Amino acid sequence: MAEVLAQRERQREQLLGLARAYVQQLAARVPVVAAAVVGSVARGDFNVWSDVDVVVVAESLPARAPDRAAVLAADAPAGIQPVGFTPEEFRRAWERRNPLARSVAGEGVILLGEAFFAEVARRYTR
């Protein structure tokens, strides 16, 4: 049983490493403010079909959804599912209790920008 749990933790760390590498590569092209893994990989209940959901907060993301998706997907390896917000969009999403934004605080594995996420949670939580 211990070996099964250890193997599972290694798999999770590999997926988190994939997300870290993605964020690093993206940050070379786009001014990334913060990023976190959410969803099943963050919680540890992923399976073979799970994507790695990465919330990316970045300056200067295109306003149009298809353009934004293209920017975020350009560096995304197979299995990475990025969702992008500008800092202001993330703040508004947090205030409106958007489940994706709130999942960063509840279950997220912060990859970058811990201070940004903490500031949003502190300032915009009512």
Domains of the chain, start order: 2-124 (3.30.460.10)
End-to-end CA distance of the chain: 43
| Cβ atoms 24, 55 nearer than 8 A | no
Does the pLDDT at position 120 exceed 80?
Answer: yes
Lowest mean pLDDT among 32-36, 53-57, 103-107: 103-107
Task: Note the pTM of the prediction, 2 decimals.
Answer: 0.93
List Cα–Cα distances, 111 to 53, 115, 124, in angstroms: 12, 11, 21
6 confidence band (pLDDT: 50, 70, 90): confident
Sheet strand arrangement including 32-38: 80-85, 52-58, 32-38, 109-112
**What is the tens place of the pLDDT at every residue in 67-89?**
999 999 998 999 999 999 999 99
Is the pLDDT at 4 greater than 90, yes or no?
no
Whether 126 has a pLDDT exceeding 70, the answer reads: no
